[in-house]
Amino acid sequence: MTAHRVDIRVIYADTDAMGIVYHANYIKWFEIGRTELMRARGIAHADIAPLGFALPVTRVYCHYLLPSRLDQVLAVLTTIDYVKRASLKFTYQIWDEALTERRVEGYTVHACTDTGGRVVRLPSPLVERLRTVC
């Protein structure tokens, strides 16, 4: 399984008073990785809601291994761990640009819900596109 890569440069607003990336920004970068992986498979987030469903996060895990700093370029590698009947799991690794030092690893689990927030089966066209990457 090939990971989808997105590069992100750390800007001043991403850092704390010590000049290190603030921990919550990694979760934001997970979302960027997930969004771009889905876009690469022809699934834009803007197209999901009009179809009558959403993919809310039900679990997030983030393990911080090494700090990142201002102006570093980070590589967000995203894969799909599984696609089930009504849920899916994305895994993430954030590395330095050269892929020599892993900074962060984690995952998110998402449920598929209808507009009323009830868990429903993932639409089959979405499942087909997502399973091409796992």
The residues annotated with a catalytic role in the active site are 16
Closest CA to 62 of 22, 96, 119: 22
Local structure of 94: helix, strand or coil: strand
C-beta atoms surrounding 44 within 10 Å: 10
SS3 3: coil
Structure token digits, residue 132: 């091409």
CB 78 within 8 A of CB 3: yes
**Rounded CA gap, 22 and 78, in Å?**
20
